[in-house]
Chain A
Amino acid sequence: MSAPRNIWIIFKRELKAQFNSMLAYVFIVIFVVLAMALTFWFRNFFAPGGQDASLEFTFFLWPAWLLMFLAPAVGMRLWSEEHRTGTVELLLTMPMAPWQAIVGKFLAGLAVISIAILCSFPIVITVSYLGDPDNGKVLGGYLATFLYGAACLAITCSVSAFTRSVVACLIVSVTICFLMLLLAVPPVQDYFTDILGGGLSDAISSFSMFAHYNDMKRGVITLPNIAFFASLIGFCLFLTSIVIKTKRS
């Protein structure tokens, strides 16, 4: 059987499992409600002179923080649950390559995240109606949010391959996502500059998902930004396959 077909079969099963367990609904509702609430209450969305039609400093300020917690919640059971229930033995003795199962599961988690992100779209309609947004920035913001969520999910996917405990997976994944976000926060950057000098500090900051996210939400959709997220996702999925293989050896 072809690889796309196997990936599709795994994707369908995993997506149904996400919705059957209510996890997907919980994730979507929490993401949309929190993103909207934070935008309207804490960023003075309607305040005179504070309008931000391109949503850069209002709506797109929050997804990076929300996805840091919520994407691991979507991905925590991808492999941990398979190990805990023993179904990994069933799955990996089917006539398909393990990477197809990894990609299928990852895409199912990504579909849930994408649905949540798309559910926030009414805010774009609102600003388009009320003002004159820079569509490039809005598009950049959505692309940044999507890639940031995918990267957090890929990190969680590789952590879930290590452990059969979904709670341990959630805690470790959130910690890693938080650390990767911190690298671009000014006090942390200043600390690295003091002890390592400017060059190395910049190099460390370039590994921050937050720095690339901020670039893209300003509308700077450059190849290095996209390549950063793509390589991080690729590396994490490759790590997942190595962990799954090593665990069996």
Chain B
Amino acid sequence: MIEVKNLTKRFGQKTAVDNISFTVKKGEVLGFLGPNGAGKSTTMRMITGYLPPTDGQISIDGADVVNEPIVAKAKIGYLPEAAPLYADMTVVAFLRFIAELRGKGEADVEGALDTCFLDPVRNQNIDTLSKGYRHRTCLAQSILHDPDILILDEPTDGLDPNQKQEVRSLIKRMGEGKVIIFSTHILEEVEAACTRAIIIDQGRVVADGAPAELKARASGAGAVTVRITGMAGSGIRSEIMSMPGASDVKEHESGESLFSGQVLPAKSSGNLPEEIFNMCKEKQLVLEELHLEQGRLDDVFREITVADTTLTDAD
């Protein structure tokens, strides 16, 4: 389990991470989202013990990262941003070097080579590898010792779509028995692999929840798109507006016997689709289309981070 309490990091006058707290439990895959320079990598570097925090505590399965760094580091597998490697080594020599430092053996090296599909390039020098293979080599070093905690800083950056899919599947598979934190700019990745997401902006946590919960916070979430026939469009619109669950209607098309548009939910909305269905049933109208908008994570991301930037600019 990772416990982060009141974590702050300042570089001179600039506050990169501003008093953030969160806990990640075993089995959780936490997506770390945020615009560039939001403080994601700095937070991850503090969790891994690379950067000392200015203030606050980080505990890795009960081991304090500052006071017991070696115990904490032994539990963590870390893929740094840009996947740095020793270019003069072969893939297998590099993994053996990491295995030695982690107190692991040849079987673990072979396991990591296998998991990350590195066997075809095992004896190749790292400086001759493609970006995808370099990334996978660095990922292999992070999982080699089968760590309880995995910190992956943009693990799919620079990979082609197939490789991205492979890494996402790997993260999802490993997430069942571990604590995983990974940062990304690709929001569909969070929906595909994460059980929870944190949006960080200007060093602060601005949203924290399951991807579905966050999506529900999008301004369009809960809206219902309908196409109803059997009554004049203006009449159907009036009937909809009289429902307690509807706050507004955006009309797409209206005719003598047709209404098509999007119904926005009231804040204290109960079940808008059910209300619309019951209204149609009662008035003997034909409900040709009904679609509930789930909300989109990128809308939430944009609304939260843009609003925050605007607020700061205004200050």
Contacts and interface: CB of A to CB of B under 8 A. Distances in A.
Contacts of B80: 86, 89-90, 93
B52 A94 contact: no
Interface residues of A, number: 22
A52 B47 CA distance: 62
Interface string B77-121: 010101011111100000001101111000000000000000000
A82 to B, nearest CB: 9
10 contacts: A1-B101, A6-B101, A9-B97, A13-B86, A20-B88, A93-B49, A93-B50, A93-B76, A93-B80, A95-B73
B87 A96 contact: no
B84 to A, nearest CB: 4
Given A9-B97, A95-B101, A95-B102, A89 B73 contact: no
B48 interface: yes
A22 B48 CA distance: 34
Contact of B101 (A9, A89, A249): A9
Contacts of A13: 86, 89, 97
Nearest to B88: A20
Contacts of B97: 9, 13
Give the residue among A6, A20, A87, A90 with the most B Cβ atoms within 10 A.
Answer: A90
Interface in A8-24: 9, 13, 16-17, 20-21
Given A93-B50, A96-B101, 20 more contacts: A1-B101, A13-B86, A20-B88, A20-B89, A85-B87, A86-B82, A87-B84, A87-B86, A89-B84, A92-B49, A93-B48, A93-B49, A93-B73, A93-B78, A93-B80, A95-B102, A97-B69, A248-B51, A248-B52, A249-B52
Contact of B70 (A87, A96, A245): A96
A94 B102 contact: yes
A48 to B, nearest CB: 51
B290 interface: no
Closest 3 CB pairs of A and B: A86-B84, A95-B74, A95-B73
Interface string B40-58: 0000010011111000000
B50 A89 contact: yes
B108 to A, nearest CB: 15
Nearest to A89: B80
B260 interface: no
B70 A17 contact: no
B76 A90 contact: no
Range, interface on chain B: 20 to 34
Interface string A72-99: 0000000000000111011011111100
Contacts of A16: 88-89
B103 A1 contact: yes
A89 B45 contact: yes
B88 A17 contact: yes
A43 B49 CA distance: 55
A16 B48 CA distance: 28
Nearest to A97: B70
Nearest to B47: A93
Interface string A192-218: 000000000000000000000000000
Instruction: Identify whether the interface residues of A are mostly helix, strand, loop, or mixed.
Output: helix
B262 interface: no
B141 interface: yes
A9 B86 contact: no
Contacts of B49: 92-93
B139 to A, nearest CB: 12
A164 to B, nearest CB: 12
Contacts of A249: 51-52
Nearest to A91: B101
B284 to A, nearest CB: 68
Contacts of A248: 50-52
Contacts of A94: 73, 98, 101-102
Contacts of B74: 95
Nearest to A1: B103
A210 to B, nearest CB: 35
Nearest to A87: B84
Give the residue among A21, A85, A245 with the most B Cβ atoms within 10 A.
Answer: A85
A96 B49 CA distance: 11
Contacts of B73: 93-95
B44 to A, nearest CB: 10
A13 to B, nearest CB: 5
B101 A17 contact: no
A9 B97 CA distance: 7
B88 A90 contact: no
